[in-house]
Structure 1
Amino acid sequence: MLRDEQASPVLSLPARLTPADLERAAGPIDVRITPGARARVAEGHAFLTARLRSGAVVYGASTGFGPLVGYGGRTEAADQCDNVLAHLTCGQGDDLPPPVVRAMLLVRLAALARGHSAVTPGVLDSLAAVLRTDFAPAVPRLGSVGASGDLIPLAHAVQSLRGRGRAYCGTTQLPAASALARARLQPLALDGRDALALVNGTSLTTAAAALALARLRRAHATALRLTALLADLLGCAPGFASPALLDAYGHPDAVRAGATLRDLLRGTEPTGQRPLQEPYSIRCAPQLLGAVGAGLRHAGETIGDDLAGISDNPLFFPETGETAHGGNFFGQPVAFAADLLTLVAVQTANLAERQLDLLVDPQRNGGLPPMLAPDPGRQHAVQGVQLAATAMTAQMRRTATPASVQSLPTNGHNQDIVPFGTQAALNALDQAALLRLVQGSLALALRQAAHVTARRPTAPACAALLSRLTDALPPVDPDRPLDADVRRAAELLDGMPEEA
């Protein structure tokens, strides 16, 4: 349904979008096109119209698509729009989550608003109107190779905006025409090269990667918090985060991770009963999480560049009279960045899973009962939670194969090398979702550890985190189903600031 626009976030385009902007697009967002952008878009559309009237050959506007570029296209512009969409509406698999699809629409709108795609100005207004509601096209997951844009997912989205296929209003799936009517939206009208411009960009790849980045930045902060709480509960000495030690290591992100851990552990009082050297899941946490931070920083720069760019072909430059045919729809940079995000997510999950294992093992946890059970044998506490966390971590590891180098020629060898950025980005998003649950499992175990030991965190920051966990999660005593508790712990961690 149409929401009160006064309550919606406001975003002016064109702008350098951020992952936070894309997360806000999950709900109604008031997108406004600046007058300057509107003028550039109108100028680009007029330039294309004049070129076509002069008899110039423009890919996709007067020609066939892909390897059929050597053949003429349909003579009527609206018919040509139907043609590009019809043959691409063939995706398969489960629907993408509506927030991902809405983020994709925002990324596409931002690229078109930069004025070099020669779309009809009304296309921008239509997309902005959609984003002011809770409407989302139904888009199947499978179909894009991340080259020539995310053609098939975007074609499904555009068909839905025209009232064809399926769509969502909130979480309710409806025929697209019914969903448009419920949201009080008019079907999208297309002309010229509008349809090609809407599908000929890697907007799904970029949106999914940006959403994964936002979630993994939170997971990084969570990993630092949970590591500090684990060390404080066990009574570890904080020397593993020594500033001199980490300065000597030479990696700035490890130095930053160590500084954050020292802040979190400020005031801790070690028991003096721990080994001289802790297991790597504690001792090497600054180095591991520093590498995670470096990976997120690099991926963030690449994804940020993509959010600020134009993914389309051809591009039109009225100021110089140039129509440039090329490959700006080739999603290789974000494909590499998304695969890096997957590696970051999996290693962060490996850390959390090993920290959970350390916590439930009486040989290494400072004498806490096995599985943190108040009455071992009669109770099993987090034994099942550890099994599930191990299974989720194994799933993450099994699906961590890089997608960005799996090139498979297609499209009559027109697309003879492809980056598979869509698969890379969606996989990174999946990995972030599983990591969230692995970290929720560790958080639940830390809360349970406090229930079966007399020691309490001595660092104020760690004590505050434990207090939030104990307020949200009752102790496991007696045993009970814990699936909802893991999700509740993950939600609590989601609500904490991105910076630890």
Structure 2
Amino acid sequence: MVLPGSRAHRGRGPAGEGGRVPGVTAKVKAKERVAIGGTALRFEDLRSIASGATVTLSSDAAARVAPSRALIERVLKQGSTVYGVNTGFGQLKSVRVPTEEVEQLQLNLVRSHAAGSGPELEPRIVRLMLALRAHSLALGYSGVRLTLLEHLVRMIEAEILPIVPSRGSLGASGDLIPLAHLAMGVIGEGEVRVDGRVALASDLMRGNGMAPLQLQAKEGLALINGTQGMTSVGALALIEAAEVLRAAHVACALSVEASRGSTKPFDPRVHAIRPHAGQRDSAAQLWGLLEGSGILASHQDCGKVQDPYSLRCAPQVLGASVDVFRRTRETVLTEVNSVSDNPLCFADTGEVISAGNFHGEPVALALDFLAIAMAEVGSISERRTFLLLDSRMSGLPPFLSPAAGLRSGLMIVQYLQAALVAENKMLAQPASVDSIPTSAGQEDHVSMGMHAAVKALALVRNVRRIVAAELLCAAQGIHLLHPLRSSERLMRAVQGLRKVVPPLDEDRRQDRDLAALDEWIASGAAADLAQVEPF
């Protein structure tokens, strides 16, 4: 559905079913296009690709990849030994493969490494994986043919998105197992899910006038030796975290209002003398959201001296999380626009160099930090909700019920928050501090970057539900303060929320209300209506 006040509601196209999950930013504008393999991709490009934008190859992709492909063909003719081109892999690096079997070598690699398990990655993540792998390969250091890149782009265009298990990657040598499953689809031997059923990728290719790709020298290794699994999952975590952070500021401001707290802690002068960028920006958002509040004016002369930390220190906590979000976004974008293959082809000097750009440590560390930062957004949101529900602290009816006792009101939503905060404490434990050697010790240190990405995405979604619960309670608090009115910006948000969830006058099940608000947050509507700028 199109939610009131959302981007879709203001003219953006409806979300396509190719990977849409409730609680995701609205679909990109019709016919939006993203060119890969040329200029650096931006954060908005990742959002667009995940949401169904048309993906094309840059005009100079052919010129970029031709020299490195020619280098691979030249070393084969010369009989040179090159890792992964005419040798075995990992500990089998010293086993020379005859020239007539180099294509079979690539096929064997893809088949043997498709060993994943666990829940399937969402189609939007798989779409990103295809696009980002093609983008990296198109930068011209991987020795692949233009034909391979064109094939990947056609798969995206036809929504041929292979089934990729989420478990199996160690984050070095890249995301081998998930990318092997992706490559199985590329060669027509993998499966795809269509309308809830499993079909062969080769069948869908034939239905779209395509044929499975026949791998040539190095191309199997080029497809699976990269960080696009963790990077794609991490990119989606960032895309969703961006809206959670914006909505968290709306929820916080509404909680300040409902509890009749002070705006003095958000005074720009306070943050000018401790100028962390995120703190300063967070305080500015809260200061602006509360400007002109009638509720604030009603209690200017009250006896309160200081508010609890969850209100008073909100910019310091939310702002620190904004800083981490920004740093993680920068790291992921650097990785998106990098070459994470091995070996690397430097056509200008005629060298093929074995190195370690596939190691996912930069991404793993960044996503671990993102998880910690977003866990704090959820933790402080739960504390504010607890405050609102406690009549001794908030001055509102117990559990925000107009008839507490006979009715339980919103008591139980804080239980859900507490459960999710507790789960987030486990999800926030860093994955990147672990390492288990593989391949007979040849690959003796790994990043666990895919673990960091998967848990970061799960944690962000938990925080979104926690913030949804705070919004539910804060809006009920504003309802109970009628006829007092909040600021114009916050009242627009409350009015939009009321089109999704009505006030609580009688007890009712809360899961549906929370799910609706969860999707409302992710659509961008909560923050858009309150005019909260992106971080």
TM-score (ref. length: structure 2): 0.89
Structure 1, residues 241-284: CA drift from partner, whole Å, max 9, x if none?
A: 01221122242321121111111111124213362110111000
Deviates more, 1:231-240 or 1:94-103: 231-240
Q: Secondary structure at the match of 2:118?
A: strand
What is the CA distance between 1:172 and its match in structure 2?
4.5
Match of 2:515 in 1: 487
Give, as a single letter, the amino acid of the residue that structure 2 aligns with 1:200: N
Match of 2:375 in 1: 346
Match of 1:376 in 2: 404
CA distance 1:171–1:98, change in 2 (3 Å)? farther
Q: Secondary structure at the match of 1:76?
A: helix
What is the CA distance between 1:128 and its match in structure 2?
0.5
Distance 2:203 2:60 in 1: 35
Match of 1:356 in 2: 385
Match of 1:285 in 2: 314
CA distance 1:339–1:274, change in 2 (3 Å)? farther
Deviates more, 1:467-476 or 1:32-41: 32-41
Contact 1:180-1:186 at 8 Å conserved across structures:
yes
Aligned residues: 498
Q: Secondary structure at the match of 1:204?
A: helix
Match of 1:35 in 2: 59
Structure 1, residues 74-119: CA drift from partner, whole Å, max 9, x if none?
A: 6423211111112201111111111111111111011011011011
Matches within 5 A, 1:155-234: 155-169=180-194, 172-182=197-207, 185-234=210-259
Select 1:13's aligned residue among 28, 36, 40: 36
Deviates more, 1:169-178 or 1:242-251: 169-178
Distance 2:393 2:233 in 1: 40
Distance 2:133 2:303 in 1: 54
Distance 2:320 2:66 in 1: 46
What is the CA distance between 1:185 and its match in structure 2?
4.1
Give, as a single letter, the amino acid of the residue that structure 2 aligns with 1:13: I
Match of 2:127 in 1: 102
Distance 2:186 2:348 in 1: 32
Select 2:83's aligned residue among 59, 65, 83: 59
Contact 2:187-2:213 at 8 Å conserved across structures:
yes
Deviates more, 1:385-394 or 1:308-317: 385-394
Report % sequence identity. 33
**Residue 48 of structure 1 pairs with residue 77 of structure 2:** no
Match of 2:462 in 1: 434
CA distance 1:185–1:428, change in 2 (3 Å)? farther
Match of 2:177 in 1: 152
What is the CA distance between 1:456 and its match in structure 2?
3.8
Q: Secondary structure at the match of 2:391?
A: coil
Match of 1:124 in 2: 149
Distance 2:447 2:147 in 1: 32
Contact 2:364-2:452 at 8 Å conserved across structures:
yes
Q: Secondary structure at the match of 1:402?
A: coil
CA distance 1:137–1:45, change in 2 (3 Å)? same
**Residue 262 of structure 1 pairs with residue 287 of structure 2:** yes
Contact 2:81-2:96 at 8 Å conserved across structures:
no
Structure 1, residues 7-32: CA drift from partner, whole Å, max 9, x if none?
A: 43211122322333233223543222
CA distance 1:77–1:9, change in 2 (3 Å)? farther
Structure 1, residues 190-238: CA drift from partner, whole Å, max 9, x if none?
A: 1111110000001011111122112112211111111111112332221
**Residue 93 of structure 1 pairs with residue 121 of structure 2:** no
Give, as a single letter, the amino acid of the residue that structure 2 aligns with 1:120: R
Select 1:423's aligned residue among 435, 451, 459: 451
Q: Secondary structure at the match of 1:363?
A: helix
Give, as a single letter, the amino acid of the residue that structure 2 aligns with 1:82: L
Deviates more, 1:14-23 or 1:103-112: 14-23
Distance 1:2 1:303 in 2: 26
Give, as a single letter, the amino acid of the residue that structure 2 aligns with 1:426: V
Match of 1:73 in 2: 97
**Which segments of 5 or more consecutive residues in structure 1 lack a partner in the other structure?**
none
**Residue 303 of structure 1 pairs with residue 337 of structure 2:** no
Select 2:158's aligned residue among 133, 136, 140: 133
**Which segments of 5 or more consecutive residues in structure 2 lack a partner in the other structure?**
1-15, 19-27
Distance 1:378 1:183 in 2: 61
Distance 1:389 1:2 in 2: 30
Distance 1:317 1:470 in 2: 59
Structure 1, residues 285-326: CA drift from partner, whole Å, max 9, x if none?
A: 011111111111211221111111111001111112121110
Q: State the Cα RMSD in Å.
A: 2.1
Distance 1:292 1:180 in 2: 44
CA distance 1:161–1:193, change in 2 (3 Å)? same
What is the CA distance between 1:147 and its match in structure 2?
0.5
What is the CA distance between 1:173 and its match in structure 2?
3.4
CA distance 1:47–1:491, change in 2 (3 Å)? same
Select 1:395's aligned residue among 405, 423, 434: 423
Contact 2:49-2:55 at 8 Å conserved across structures:
no
**Residue 448 of structure 1 pairs with residue 471 of structure 2:** no
What is the CA distance between 1:171 and its match in structure 2?
5.2
Give, as a single letter, the amino acid of the residue that structure 2 aligns with 1:264: L
TM-score (ref. length: structure 1): 0.95
Match of 1:247 in 2: 272
Give, as a single letter, the amino acid of the residue that structure 2 aligns with 1:224: H
